[in-house]
Structure 1
């Protein structure tokens, strides 16, 4: 692996294959240096040579050197020889080193705002802006009309005009009522459109994000921790759904709807009325806007900091705004990023509780949780502190602004530039200018801060791959044309110029050593990883032109590690099936020999725990196979799906698939060589290349012909008899004198019927732990035959003769060969 023991593993071992996960778990157990080890078929998912290497180097040598108790072996372990691993290859996996989550720098880009506007809808966005303008215009018009009414009342001093005054008051009142009613209507329309637009935008962003995530390649999922995805699909979508459109700004006891557009139009209306009433303020406001634009466009933080001593109060407002804007945006990004490892850690902890407790890692995981929480709380606290920092400074600056406006009003009143009613209205608006300015700055900063969630969603929507149009129907003809694949640019090819044609309805087996590219072949077919060159066709159509949901619906996949969810047995069997009758499910369970399981859990409605904890691994694999049968898939892909079944169950399940789905195309990856005669073709792979495609009746290549006939544990007792464990199904037990067995092997070698090599023999004395109880019966000399390799001649008649002799010599031995 790149990086050795520093290689990053994604959630649930997504970047590791099944065999690599087994070896990591075994290495973790060996690192504990305990006195007792419980190993539950740790070599089942490995090919024979790799299993031998691990058996000798890790289990026999390491555990024996530590003085561990003798292993209790299941009969399957006897099939592994001690042939040295010729390639020491590492099986294929998504060898992708994880990287830190990327984040943007600086303010939110215009493209992010455009994405939110498109999610809301351009027409709806324009309608919201028009409604806001009309609402603010009607409000300012009502206030202006009220000032006119007040001024008219002030100008009437004659008693003769009292009657005329009453008529004018009625007219003023009616017009004011019409304007106020219009303002109420526009306010309601604006509120409805804004709420509806916010909900619509959140819905569209969520659906687009979900659409992308469900249709992206599995390689993306392997290199992306689940915490990052959960963070976006939960926290960021929640922000778009609730926080972004409906923020509330609180200052003292006054609450203001902190929506940027509402604050902007409110401030704009206030500035217009203030400038009309106090024209001397116009050049001041124009200068401030120009200075703000100049500061934002050309100056960095340090340049702005040098201006902090300026006397103009509002310049300080914009300085504070600009600095705080950049600060809060970065703090929001840090807070969002810090949630991803927290979610990942919580998921790993919940899923791995049994392992954490068994390995005594509780304190380690608790410490890691505290560290993740501390990082997130620091970012959140900094966000709150930044907001309070802004509030305090704006309060001080507000005093200067109000004083400036009051002095300007006094000067202008002395100049008699406008009437007293208009000046009063301007001062009234000016007094609220501070609160509006604070609201605008706060709402803008909060809005841009919350837009970080839209930015993070937009990052996934932009960078996750596209999907294509639909197709109608397929028959199952698969073609690999010069396909090359590797999991990262600096890694060797997992598939190197592979070309295979699988006609519709053909049953094909794929064999090869660990790391030969078998699983990569299926991953490329399912578009779980993207190929580097070549093409894969399904009924003559390039699979890249087929949407993933349609492509993967065609396949029935039986993985090495079946997925079992919490629910009834019926639900687990019929998941993904359109319509299945109860009698069909009962028939499948009977054919798959699951009757005992059905009875044990209380029928098809019996409960299965999460992950199938109340099932054996073999039962989980059989359930996974039954799913494919009930779904009646047109193409069946099997990846070492019977590794935890005995030979009889393996043959029975293979026969069931072929008989129940006779017209389906079957591609089966296996390292179990029994039953290959049932297939139409056998593809042999090595080092990512196709070594050969042959029928089961043809002669196999020399390294496939090299079979392990015997891995024997020979125990000498007082009767000088030994225990022989051989290859095949059933009890592998035969007793015979050692000298007769040795003579038989030498005889076959002398007449050149076989070639053999005895790689190593170890002699170990086993003593009872209590030395005072040593007796003849408990002192045993153990000879462990590490490897006897038989290379049998290719002549079929000679092979038949040899096995007949073995059956005569070992009458209780179950013999089989490939």
Structure 2
């Protein structure tokens, strides 16, 4: 077979143009080669010399920012051109197959044109990247030449009678059209950029987004090919294999995608709709739906009222206006139905002239609980719904540049420092909560910290004032949170300060210090107007103006002397209360106040946190020592967690699940295979019938075949498939339920039986997350993901097996495809897991900030900080959105590549199947079966990899729960048997012998008690005192074996408690803690959880605790409801309930661990009286909060640093002049 361009041996004769240059088809095809060779010859040197180079004028880190006019259209036309050229090559090859010799001119020009087309788009991309449009002139020449050559060829086809019925004619016509459109695009670039034949070329600046080096999301800026294939994500996806993805890696959002941009757009649309004065259908509908709720919930602010759907300012919505006398700062006028009037006038220092002689004024608001003091402050701030009346603010501005004082009223009030009754803190550091977006002034900050007595608390914290307080200040006590809230108000440089009952959670000494140093000294020196709501009447003499409220109205107002004259009865009542509070101040103990207890609890919490953090740091250091191993583990599927989850379901269910899945998918393949055989048999039978000379073409009845056999088998297979699908679904749900129940049951048992050390070193939120978020993941998500993963995996394997069975040659191509798929899933899983975790981690701050903002709206709006919090909210939204966008882009990245692999599978399967069928090696049914499965491979592979990535993330919940399951439980078994060795009613006498006892919280920690020896006779009352950290509480915990008693022993009634079962020990002793604990349920349940006591016994215990009258007034009596934590009872009542519970248990030993620390002195005296009478014959160990409470004890133990410093009767210790106990008593007096 000869090989020549024109298909003849004499090529020179083939180029004969005697009949005309354009009439020789081969010569014309040769001319068509010229433009393509020209382009290849011109562009290759430029590409090799300046590949990827950028203009010196472009200094930007992204190389795909610039798009010439018609960018997307050029890419689309080029793709279509390449496809048409492939069709032309195929047409030429097929046409050449009918000739004896090879006619290269039929497909070689098209092949060169294909190469030139690819080169043109690559060349264009590099020119566009380098921003040097003058080099596009080569493409202009190429499009002109190619369009001309194809137009001539198309004209000659028409001249020689070749019409649309021939494929060659249609392809040539399409090429003429495409070359013409590309030429038009090139001319459009010239006109747009003016780089040729123009004196003033157009300069293009990079987008503003890409000038920011932090922008990494490039989808809007890359070329069409990269945009459609997510090619720009390749580097990002592979980088996750080297280092974890965080917010620094993913960068910022483009400006058009940021929350602020969308907020402005939506707000503009919303304002336009409001300004149109037309009722919106959706707003009208929602207004009607919310109308009944408005009647019920009348305390909603006016800004949330959907009926106020009109453009009104905050002034009218809040009821805040202007226009008062010059000697008034705020005037509140509230009119009720009875036309009564309540006015509040606060003297503002800024209203005095001249401005250099300002003096601060203090206004106090007093009254009983619920009389409306806090509501009055909120009304002044515009936080209450205004039914009638006005709130008027007056603010004066002084101009020091003029000789005359220029004063002006402001339409809106200025910022107000507001400390609410319920302290509100941010989930931030202490210094950030105090400064609260204000610049840091060290001297002012130190003065505020000193005024609020926060320095001792800050010294306890490991990071000082840089310690984060947690959500809602969870690591702090109520008093500590209250002082930080007041410190924030003091630090703000506002003219007006509102303090709503700041002393409620503080003890007497701390309240007095805050009043003297914070309010009277600091605020008055700064000449700031202060409005103070308080119950501490001893501070009334310091007030410049007093407002007494009663039942929502002002009872009287004026100075203290004015009220003494106008309301003598009220003044005498105040005087009595002030005298009582002064006595309480004098009798408050010096050894351990409520503030000392708060700091002790904070020290314990920080100690536990630091211990846990140290353990985590040690684990992190171990991981950092082998970073490569850590990165390898990131890319490895957590088989151990997967095995732990599956093993939790049990071997029987696991076997049932695997068997049902295998049978189900095998049966699905069998059904499809049976259909293929059925189809092949039908086609073969019809072909045989048509070709048989014995059968007429019109009637094939005699040569027909029966469908009954195939139909019956197909029906049986379908019925079995339905049954197996049902069985598989049941097996999946059953397995998920069994595994979830087993993990939850094990977790619950571990937590219940866990030592106290676990709760001290593990944050409560972490434990709650194991029972909430992680358990929900195991319950709801893992079974579904596991089912989808197994289904997609088995479907993919089935498809590959079927294709390999139909065409075994497919196995050759399967290996490279499998390797490619492996690396794609390897990189995707790591990136997807990081992005999912990043999305979750960025969502939590967003929700937390939103909830914090909602809770602190009065404080935020009082300070006029709405823009700052809105900006922060938008920042959190952007962080969450960018993580979500990258996660979506990563999923699309995977999907595109799985589609490519699927397309390759379809191509190989189709070519192999059709080639085999042409040689009669395959039946038509099997060919169709192989192609059908090949078409579904891409979808199966996509979902297989995505489900695998999801499963990897969800198995993290199993890993975290397994971490808690490895916690060593307390040893509840003892050497003594409860039934045989422990007598009933033990301990009967209450004799306690402590011999050389040493106690520590953990084997890695120092002892907290050292060589303690004590002997307590039956029925004795023992008092234990000492300063904070002396080991008093550890002493009480040792009785219940909640700490590690590594030396010595405790013997109660001749039985060593270390040999007792824990359940027996703890059920025979009683303890009353500082914070009384009541459970949700009934009073009966709280007094007798085991339901063993009779009603008479319960009423007797309540009578002894002096609670019988209280319980009788409740609906249900003993069956009255107790809310969570006993919130429907006072602190003192809850403590008395705990005392009654201890009496019901009839324990011979009662331990009181600072039980009177958080109750008033009246309740304390009741409690002490009950203990002395009801427990007269029992042993009572009292850890003292106030020293005078143990003066009547039989023995007193003074502790210091874990050792017993003094041990004797109270009188003997008092008689000793050098006694530490005596010094405590003298200080108490």
CA apart distance, 1:164: 10
SS of the equivalent of 2:783 reads coil
SS of the equivalent of 1:244 reads helix
SS of the equivalent of 2:604 reads coil
Matches within 5 A, 1:342-491: 379-380=883-884, 382-462=886-966, 464-470=967-973, 473=978, 475-476=986-987, 479=994, 481-485=996-1000
CA apart distance, 1:685: 0.7
Task: Name the residue aligned to 1:621.
Answer: 1135
CA apart distance, 1:325: 0.7
* 1:640 has 2:1154 as partner: yes
* 1:705 has 2:1228 as partner: no
Aligned residue among 198, 218, 221 for 2:759:
221
Matches within 5 A, 1:225-236: 225-236=763-774
Separation (CA, whole Å) in 2 of partners of 1:166 and 1:149:
14
Q: How many equivalent pairs are there?
A: 659
Indicate conservation of the 8 Å contact 1:119/1:204, yes or no.
Answer: yes
Separation (CA, whole Å) in 1 of partners of 2:929 and 2:1173:
90
Task: Name the residue aligned to 2:199.
Answer: none
1:84–1:182 CA distance, 2 compared to 1 (3 A): closer
* 1:109 has 2:638 as partner: yes
Aligned residue among 581, 590, 595 for 2:1103:
590
Indicate conservation of the 8 Å contact 1:232/1:456, yes or no.
Answer: yes
Pair member with larger Rg: 2
Indicate conservation of the 8 Å contact 2:1031/2:1202, yes or no.
Answer: yes
Indicate conservation of the 8 Å contact 1:329/1:452, yes or no.
Answer: no
1:502–1:208 CA distance, 2 compared to 1 (3 A): farther
Task: Name the residue aligned to 1:5.
Answer: 465
Task: Name the residue aligned to 1:668.
Answer: 1182
* 1:630 has 2:1090 as partner: no
Separation (CA, whole Å) in 2 of partners of 1:504 and 1:354:
58
Indicate conservation of the 8 Å contact 1:495/1:520, yes or no.
Answer: yes
Separation (CA, whole Å) in 1 of partners of 2:758 and 2:861:
32
* 1:93 has 2:604 as partner: yes
CA apart distance, 1:634: 5.8
CA apart distance, 1:708: 5.3
What TM-score, normalized to structure 2? 0.47
1:401–1:177 CA distance, 2 compared to 1 (3 A): same
Task: Name the residue aligned to 1:245.
Answer: 783
* 1:325 has 2:839 as partner: no
Task: Name the residue aligned to 2:150.
Answer: none
CA apart distance, 1:533: 4.4
Indicate conservation of the 8 Å contact 2:999/2:1038, yes or no.
Answer: no
Q: Which moved more, 1:360-369 or 1:607-616?
A: 360-369
Task: Name the residue aligned to 2:737.
Answer: 199
* 1:534 has 2:1047 as partner: yes
Separation (CA, whole Å) in 2 of partners of 1:269 and 1:581:
69
Indicate conservation of the 8 Å contact 2:853/2:869, yes or no.
Answer: yes
* 1:78 has 2:586 as partner: yes
Separation (CA, whole Å) in 2 of partners of 1:4 and 1:559:
29
CA apart distance, 1:674: 3.7
Q: Which moved more, 1:266-275 or 1:419-428?
A: 419-428
Give deviations 1:658-704, integer Å, cap 9, x for gaps: 65456765332113334536545332211222223334454356121
Separation (CA, whole Å) in 2 of partners of 1:658 and 1:354:
50
SS of the equivalent of 1:93 reads helix
* 1:187 has 2:691 as partner: no
Indicate conservation of the 8 Å contact 1:505/1:665, yes or no.
Answer: yes
Give deviations 1:347-382, integer Å, cap 9, x for gaps: 9999x9899899989979999888777766655554
Give 5+ residue unaligned stretches, structure 1.
45-50, 248-256, 292-314, 712-726, 728-818
SS of the equivalent of 1:515 reads coil
Indicate conservation of the 8 Å contact 1:636/1:667, yes or no.
Answer: yes
Separation (CA, whole Å) in 2 of partners of 1:377 and 1:525:
54
* 1:137 has 2:666 as partner: yes
> With CA pairs under 8 Å and 6+ residues apart, which has the higher RCO, 1 or 2?
1
- Let me know the Cα RMSD of the aligned residues: 4.7
Give 5+ residue unaligned stretches, structure 2.
1-459, 491-496, 525-538, 543-577, 621-629
Give deviations 1:399-433, integer Å, cap 9, x for gaps: 33322321222233345444443333222222222
Task: Name the residue aligned to 1:271.
Answer: 800
* 1:39 has 2:499 as partner: no
CA apart distance, 1:516: 1.5
What TM-score, normalized to structure 1? 0.68
Indicate conservation of the 8 Å contact 2:1011/2:1048, yes or no.
Answer: no
Task: Name the residue aligned to 2:1027.
Answer: 513
1:259–1:682 CA distance, 2 compared to 1 (3 A): same
Task: Name the residue aligned to 1:126.
Answer: 655
Separation (CA, whole Å) in 1 of partners of 2:1149 and 2:957:
41
1:505–1:347 CA distance, 2 compared to 1 (3 A): farther
Separation (CA, whole Å) in 2 of partners of 1:397 and 1:124:
35
Indicate conservation of the 8 Å contact 1:120/1:200, yes or no.
Answer: yes
CA apart distance, 1:203: 1.9
Indicate conservation of the 8 Å contact 2:770/2:960, yes or no.
Answer: yes
Separation (CA, whole Å) in 2 of partners of 1:348 and 1:79:
40
Indicate conservation of the 8 Å contact 1:481/1:499, yes or no.
Answer: yes
Give deviations 1:377-406, integer Å, cap 9, x for gaps: 655554444333323443344333322321
